[in-house]
Structure 1
Amino acid sequence: MAIISQIEDQEKTGIDVRANDLIRETKVLTIARLAIMLVDLFGLDEPFKKVGKHSGQEIEMYFTELDGYITFILASERENFDCVAEKANSPIARLIITVEEDKILNLISSIIRSKNNLFNLIKF
């Protein structure tokens, strides 16, 4: 009986870990989608014009609270902006975000609403 109980406990622990990983990954994906929506709604065209030769390059953002990555792919037009919830292949800048989980959305929103968001991203 003790062995069966241990196996059941290990299975429950494994399921809990996988469930927590799935929740964390879902949060990162949601933040990436929200970033795209915020750029569509509030993004200014001027910063995109400044991208110039950096178009197509990546900026990687790592969230310590969620242990997840979002990669912003730079574009010279707002309509071409994209970001993905994965680690960048060869980023030109890496940001490590150490804010609490409940403040991540405010941070992303303020970065997107700023006038020179590429340079502000690198300053963070």
Structure 2
Amino acid sequence: MEGGCLNRKSNGKFHQLPGYPNCALASGVVNFFLARTDAVQKVGFDPKLQRVAHSEFFMDGLGSLMVATCNHVSIGHQPHTNNTDAARYRKFRHPGREDGKFKERLQFFKNNLKCVRFG
């Protein structure tokens, strides 16, 4: 009735992925991921969340996605060529505070949560 609590563990990894010694299973990853199209479509991105839904995508996929993180893989960002590009990117990449508040309210409602604990 009250809802449950989601415990999020920073850098949380589970056991090694068999056959991939540098990879371990995880609940989610940050910033960048590569996935099968059919798996992503089963979970779907919530259109109400736009650019602020990365961790929420993995929350929505708990129990249906198999996620792994590999410590030998890294992705570099394209360098900004001038100040105009950098300012435009910052505005796109870091939406306003209201977007974040809306995201939290929606996730609590959608997942019947009363709290999210970070650790």
TM-score bracket, normalised by the shorter chain, equals under 0.3
Q: Name the one with the larger strand percent.
A: 2
Look at both structures and tell me which one has the larger radius of gyration over its CA atoms: 1
